[in-house]
Amino acid sequence: MNLIIKKNHNISQRKISKNSMKVLYRLNKSGYEAYLVGGGVRDLLLSKKPKDFDIATNAKPNEIRKLFKNCRLIGRRFIIAHLIFKNEIIEVSTFRAKNNTAKNHKLYSPNIKKSNNGMLLCDNNFGKVEEDAYRRDLTINALYYSIKDSGIRDYIGGIKDIKQKIIRLIGDAETRYREDPVRMLRVVRFSVRLNMYIDKKTEAPINKLSKLLTNIPPARLFTESIKLFCFGYGYLTYIRLRKYSLVYSLLPFLLNKFSKKNTIFFKNIIIYCFKKVDFPTTKKKLRCPEFLFASLLWYPLIEKIKKLLTRNKLKYLKAYSMSVHYILKKYSILLGIPKNILLNIEKIWNLQKDIETKKNCENKKIIQNNIFFQALELISLRSRAENQNELKKILFFWNKKIFFLKKI
């Protein structure tokens, strides 16, 4: 183990959230070992603001629950404690033991269960901090900071990889991806967000194993999609996910067949909408994932409407409402999009016609509606994707209207 003492690193306790400090302090005071670990340590070392703070301890889940009133135990594969504070949730996990599922091995644990394809199904086997380090995904995520001595414990070489900007999976890459295919997405996400290189051995099996993502429950994939696409690096992440064939499990409609015209529009809108979400040009923030999925699914919707109109000879409104229902249902099942987000996607779509026909254009209330603003942004993307003058004129009309309505 390499101990990096206080004067040799840049982590200051002032940068750690007060709640995490309290949790670490209380665990230590009650006689448990406890460390800040994961993104909190990694991002502070890289002088970035951590998204959240994770804690690892030798206290067992029910011991954590006894210490904290605001504790909720979650997860089946591995039980962790969520400590719920006003503005943040702190994840406290108990040190995991070395992974061994071979029945004749001396460290065999009946608490670790794998599926036939190597995926971890149940992993409630607790161990020591040095064992826990080997169960983490990346070397840069396996650094343990103690508030007792302000030192960082590095069991695997995370500090060197941070300095050299290398994303390196711990252990045999193929085995670790088979245990949990989401690790492939995490490798890509951190390589983009932290602007780091992916180590060759970590990179090598990804293309071949990318299909394993189909075994992941859609709700988990959707949570990952938000982390991948909605934090300012969506476009670059999308490009890199494509490179490793990982994007198709997250956005399966990329493989849909479209008419010639819609193929071009669809390709264009993908680029434009990721860039728009990453770099909003207006002061109001675009709501990701609602806006992203409303835009990405727009041409699959148009294609479906077209099919119903030609094959079933339906009236436009009927074909439209059937298609909306069909697309939202299909992708809520495939992508795990939650209901509240589906509702907003539908509202953004429904407003497209109203905006095109200038409905309610004298109503001041309409411009205060956030969904209207998202819908107008979709009109803007469509006008660019299709290079359509009519839509550009409509956009111009509304922008002028909004300007005057705001003045009243």
In the complex, the residues that contact ligand ATP under the rule CB under 6 A are: 38-39, 51-52, 54, 136-137, 141-142, 180, 182-183, 227
Residue with tokens 């959240």: 52
Output the residue with the shortest Cβ distance to Mg ion.
39
Among residues 39 and 300, whose Cβ is nearest to Mg ion? 39
Among residues 54 and 161, whose Cβ is nearest to ligand ATP? 54
Q: Which does 203 bind (CB under 5 to 8 A by kind): ligand ATP, Mg ion, none?
A: none
Among residues 160 and 267, whose Cβ is nearest to ligand ATP? 160
46: helix, coil or strand? coil
Question: Distance (Å, rounded) from C-alpha 324 to C-alpha 389?
Answer: 26
Q: How far is the CB of 53 from ligand ATP (least distance, A)?
A: 8
Q: Which does 325 bind (CB under 5 to 8 A by kind): Mg ion, ligand ATP, none?
A: none
Antiparallel, parallel or unpaired: β 34-37 and 54-57:
antiparallel
**Cβ atoms of residues 197 and 205 within 8 Å:** no
- Of 366, 324, 323, 369, which Cα lies nearest the Cα of 343? 324
Supply 145's token pair. Answer: 């900071």
Please calculate the CA angle 387-249-91 and round it to the nearest 5 degrees: 110
Sign of the torsion formed by the C-alpha atoms of 238, 242, 244 and 247: positive
Q: How far is the CB of 141 from ligand ATP (least distance, A)?
A: 3
Question: Distance (Å, rounded) from C-alpha 177 to C-alpha 361?
Answer: 53
DSSP 292: H
Q: Which does 347 bind (CB under 5 to 8 A by kind): ligand ATP, Mg ion, none?
A: none
Query: How many residues touch Mg ion (CB under 5 A)?
Result: 4
**Cβ atoms of residues 162 and 45 within 8 Å:** yes
Output the residue with the shortest Cβ distance to ligand ATP.
39
Question: Distance (Å, rounded) from C-alpha 340 to C-alpha 321?
Answer: 18
Question: Distance (Å, rounded) from C-alpha 303 to C-alpha 57?
Answer: 52
Asked if 83 touches Mg ion (CB under 5 A), the answer is no
Among residues 135 and 276, whose Cβ is nearest to ligand ATP? 135
Q: How far is the CB of 22 from ligand ATP (least distance, A)?
A: 19
Q: How far is the CB of 183 from ligand ATP (least distance, A)?
A: 5
Site for Mg ion in 15-44 (CB under 5 A): 38-39
Among residues 82 and 401, whose Cβ is nearest to Mg ion? 82
Q: Collect all residues with Cβ–Cβ distance below 8 Å to 5 and sequence separation of at least 6.
A: 149, 150, 151
**Cβ atoms of residues 30 and 64 within 8 Å:** no
Burial (CB count <10 Å: 0-12, 13-18, 19+), residue 153: buried
Q: Which does 180 bind (CB under 5 to 8 A by kind): ligand ATP, Mg ion, none?
A: ligand ATP
DSSP 213: G
Q: Which does 136 bind (CB under 5 to 8 A by kind): ligand ATP, Mg ion, none?
A: ligand ATP
- For residue 339, give Cα distances in angstroms to 74, 113, 290, 294, 331: 22, 32, 11, 14, 11
Asked if 52 touches Mg ion (CB under 5 A), the answer is yes
Among residues 16 and 394, whose Cβ is nearest to Mg ion? 16
| Catalytic site positions | 52, 54, 137
Q: How far is the CB of 42 from ligand ATP (least distance, A)?
A: 6
Q: How far is the CB of 213 from ligand ATP (least distance, A)?
A: 12
The one-letter amino acid at 182: V
Q: How far is the CB of 110 from ligand ATP (least distance, A)?
A: 21
Q: Which does 178 bind (CB under 5 to 8 A by kind): ligand ATP, Mg ion, none?
A: none
Q: Which does 141 bind (CB under 5 to 8 A by kind): Mg ion, ligand ATP, none?
A: ligand ATP
Among residues 194 and 322, whose Cβ is nearest to ligand ATP? 194
Residues that bind Mg ion (CB under 5 A): 38-39, 52, 54
